[in-house]
Structure 1
């Protein structure tokens, strides 16, 4: 009985391996975004204090001194004219954050603090109250708190050891939202779904799935990326409607065949739609090795000659035998990779081979070089 179970299990595994892979349905939440529901970037200029001698060198970063003087004047401290500040525990920083959609005053968000001077480390510093502005120059949040740096460093007698980055830190919940961003969600009782990528086939399938679930005429395709969807007028009903809408599953159209090549690193990435026409590929390597053997010429006993160094150069040319490989038409991605490995192609060689295949019309894919 146990042996029969093992045979049945093995047969099921083989059938699952040999069966064609079906297109997996994806949620609309993963394929689209809702127009107007987005993050907004915030930034601000601030000062980090309390550093242990690792702050900006004020002779090279005068803006740090100017910021301290302005801050002290705002606090009611007036320095005598001609006063020269030698600061070591202060650093000028840029503070950045992302304001989530529908964020309300009083909520907290995470911030990133980055040095803009020549501070050696922000470890142990405290960010002074910094206003964070949006693209419209309006203040949307106020930031302040202790900077957490995920690194450590030490230096002594000319030796230095550093782990990770010391000039950038984070403050969890370091900014408090002071102003909400107005949202036009549900205006005119409609919303717009924006596809992550332009694809007319997938857009038509999304429209069909929405209309099949909610009724005809609810969704209308505007172009290959945007879909207009009628929504309820009540906010409660609209939220429930969007929750159901995001959970709908759609089988996206097959991706366009594309090969991405990075000429600087030699990286090559191909999706599963890449195929080849019938072609023959030949590949061979030519290597030249030049070496030098240094020796000393020593004259014989009682000879009139002198000891002198000599150099014997050697040049070796080696050409690996080229291999010609036939690839049948309609080859899949696995067969393409197998063919490239069979002829011993390195990543750099693969760049040239794929370009030659595209020029010859044998590569069924768009070739993009980044």
Structure 2
């Protein structure tokens, strides 16, 4: 690559400290045509410390079929930084990954027959039967007044099929129905991330009346080794005497009655216990085991 740029490497002996090997990725949006610009992501794949201030040279972007669909180059924008001295290094964010806005020009478009499709299939990001039925009903109510026909039918919890009327273009018809307002149904679900202690409780989560007692056992182990010095003019040697202090405490447990017909009362009842997030995780798992949690418990 350096030889193509006019730099003589002299048999591979050239060493450039400000050159980084990177991997470049991009996503092709739907309906993109040749000549359009798209954003590209740049990530270091070597030992480079930072990509700040760097410039991506002309890079062909290939798809899984081996064809070149875009060519990217430009200045790399990095959100983090790194500073290093002889005895300390400070890093904030990820300085080895950046982005080139509008850095790639599309050379080859993906063929699509959008206007020729008589049936459109909508796929829900969050599968739910109630939401799929509401979407189909909202579309049918609109098309019955606008075109005098019902065109939507729910197939399952994820899929809704729409038949396009023949007297309107596909782009105009889909632009009209995409502005319809549909209230999505939220599943009763509690998501727990035990690594970070994050707890997300859905609005439809309910807890049957249950009494809870929670007490946390805390064990603190302290290592305080002592240095023992020998007597002066003796043949003794300095030694380290280990000393370990173990302390166990158990705070008074509280007994609370939880009855959560809605999210507000559920959160209020958990706050009355005065426990930390890890304690709330254990409580929710116990409530689920007791059959009192009327929701799905998802552990991550």
Task: Tell me the TM-score normalized by structure 1.
Answer: 0.68
Does 2:95 align with 1:166?
yes
Query: What is the aligned-residue RMSD (CA, Å)?
Result: 3.1
Equivalent residues of 2:114, 2:170 under 8 A apart = no
Match of 1:42 in 2: none
Match of 2:30 among 82, 101, 111: 101
Is the CA contact (8 Å cut-off) linking 1:132 and 1:141 kept in structure 2? Answer: yes
Aligned CA distance change for structure 1 residues 327 and 84 (closer, same or farther; 3 Å): closer
Match of 2:154 in 1: 221
Kindly indicate whether residue 291 of structure 2 is the aligned counterpart of residue 358 of structure 1. Answer: no
Q: TM-score, normalized by length of structure 2? A: 0.82
- Residue 241 of structure 1 is aligned with which of 157, 167, 173? 173
Contact 2:141 2:150 in 1 (8 A): no
User: Which structure would you say has the larger Rg?
Assistant: 1
More off after superposition, 103-112 vs 331-340? 331-340
The number of residue pairs the alignment matches comes to: 285
Q: Show structure 2 runs of 5+ residues with no match.
A: 228-239
> Residue 185 of structure 1 contacts residue 191 of structure 1 at CA under 8 Å; is this kept in 2?
no
Q: Once the two structures are superposed, what CA deviation does each residue of 1:321-359 show, in whole Å capped at 9, x if it has no partner? A: 22211234x532222222222122211111111111111
**Counterparts of 2:277 and 2:26, CA distance in 1:** 39
Q: Are 1:258 and 2:189 an aligned pair?
A: yes
Distance 1:293 1:148 in 2: 49
Measure how far apart 1:226 and its partner are. Answer: 1.4
Report the Cα distance in structure 2 between the residues aligned to 1:268 and 1:161, rounded to whole angstroms.
Answer: 32
What is the CA–CA distance in structure 1 between the aligned matches of 2:98 and 2:171, rounded to whole Å?
Answer: 37
SS at match of 2:136: helix
Q: Which moved more, 1:164-173 or 1:124-133?
A: 164-173
Q: Answer 1 or 2: which has greater helix percent.
A: 1
Higher relative contact order (CA 8 A, sep 6+): 1
> 1:70-149 residue pairs with structure 2 within 5 A?
72=3, 83-149=12-78
CA deviation after TM superposition for structure 1 residue 232, in Å: 4.3
Preserved contact between residue 49 and residue 82 of structure 2 (Cα < 8 Å): no
Where does the alignment leave 5 or more consecutive residues of structure 1 unmatched?
A: 1-67, 297-308
